Amino acid sequence: MGLPADAWARDELGVLEAKGLKRHLEPLESPQGPRIRVGGREYVNFSSNDYLGLANDEQVKEAAREAVLRHGVGSGASRLIVGDTTAHQSLERAVADFEGAEAALLFNSGYAANVGVLSALLGPGDVVFSDALNHASLIDGCRLAKAAVVVYPHRDVAALEALVAAHPGRRRLVATDAVFSMDGDRAPLHELSGLCRREGLGLLVDEAHATGVLGARGAGLCEALGVRPDVLMGTLSKGLGCVGAYVAGSAALRELLFNKSRSLVFSTAIPPAMCAAAEAALSRVRADPSLRGALWRNISALAAGLRGLGVPAHEDSAIFSVVLGEPERAVEASRRLRALGLLVKPIRPPTVPVGTSRLRIALSAGHSLEDLDRLLGALSEVICLGPIGGEGRGEDKSPQPEAR
């Protein structure tokens, strides 16, 4: 009380409150999954990125349990000191094979991977071209890299081409989400890859929401489209139900990253048991395409249902947005769904551009068609709140949001 940081915190919270942007934490009383318990009540959960239900999968949990008994819990140091284990190396080989890459390197999170990669590869005199709706971790990586950052309009390859012509540099790289985290739409990777090849640019693709979800093997959008980026980031934290991330690429890239990525060098290694769990999750994805099949059945059903309500919906990914505009409307819509036993969290700035506050619906392979019917029925009432858009693409709001 009365101490500077406390006073600063109160001031800042007051600002957030006035804008309708104050958030709060809510502890789950159950494992992650399509049905969760919060505050003593059960909900159908439409806000998790655990797309395949692997966060609470028996085989994945068993792999983690065995690995804790074998390796212990903490990893004790950075990978470069004594935090590297056979479990890390084994997962990296499995990931490289999964992605069809020469090598892969683990990071503690997708955030750490993006920040680590961009700052290791680029520096002053270099240029990174970044999609206007890229994830916060790519935006922060661009800042930390001290390279010039050129933001291009969302998914607009022609505009990017003009910007590339106008911005020479020592090293130049295009960075894009594969599946955009809030709208769930896909990057035009064929076109981006063609442009990069022609002009000699590097290409970094962030597969966070595509890992385990897209592609015949589940390796992501690059696999689905047959595109080979020089830097592919994938996550262990979403479709694979664990935590951590990887960068797949050449052996030299891997070696440079473990030498120079500060988010890796100066951070304790991801625990070995998490590596073992993620390797088991990867095996589940590869061995059981029916997991993806169930998810895609749900994606098609929800997309059709939303269109039936007059909400434009893609079938690009497991993410759907019902854009409501002002933050208060998204919060109120979420509150009303919640009263009906449906958990759909409101997403507000700075996660999405101002004016595009929304309900973000994320599907799981574990949702039943009845779950989707309940959601659609409830949405048809909530939508009476007033006119709304579909997966609102905030690309017209040209300044890049602070963070997404």
Ligand X SMILES: *Cc1c(COP(=O)(O)O)cnc(C)c1O
- 154 flagged as catalytic: no
* Strand order from edge to edge, sheet including 357-362: 319-325, 357-362, 346-347
Catalytic residue from among 71, 88, 154, 209: 209
180 vs 383, beta carbon nearer ligand X: 180
Per CB under 6 A, 351 contacts ligand X: no
Query: What gap in Å lies between CA 92 and CA 301, rounded to an integer?
Result: 36
Q: Taking CB under 6 A as the rule, does residue 334 contact ligand X?
A: no
Return d(Cα 115, Cα 112) in angstroms, integer.
5
Distance of alpha carbon 123 from alpha carbon 307, whole angstroms: 46
242: contact with ligand X by CB under 6 A: no
Q: How far apart are CB 316 and ligand X at their closest, in Å?
A: 14
Identity of the residue, 233 or 383, whose beta carbon is nearer to ligand X in the bound complex:
233
Residue 75: active-site member: no
322 near ligand X (CB under 6 A): no
Q: What is the C-alpha to C-alpha distance for residues 122 and 209, in angstroms, rounded to an integer?
A: 25
Determine the angle formed by the axes of helices 272-287 and 289-308, rounding to 10 degrees.
Answer: 70
Would you call 22 a catalytic residue per the annotation? no
Which residue's CB is nearer to ligand X, number 208 or number 318?
Answer: 208
Backbone angles phi, psi at 178, to 5 degrees: -80, -55
Tell how far CA 158 is from the center of its chain. Answer: 26
Residue of 119, 130, 176, 237 interacting with ligand X (CB under 6 A): 237
Phi, psi of 45 (to 5 degrees): -95, 115
Site for ligand X in 70-129 (CB under 6 A): 109-111, 114
- Please pick, among 48, 75, 109, 181, the residue that the annotation labels catalytic: 181
For residue 370, the SS3 value is helix
What is the spatial distance between Cα 33 and Cα 63, in angstroms, rounded to a whole number? Answer: 19
User: Should residue 298 be labelled a site residue for ligand X when binding is judged by CB under 6 A?
Assistant: no
SS3 173: strand
Report if residue 48 touches ligand X, rule: CB under 6 A. Answer: no
Per annotation, catalytic residue among 135, 154, 238, 345: 238
Residues 133-192 that bind ligand X (CB under 6 A): 135, 137, 177, 181
Catalytically active residues are 181, 209, 238
Q: Which residues bind ligand X (CB under 6 A)?
A: 109-111, 114, 135, 137, 177, 181, 206, 208-209, 235, 237, 245
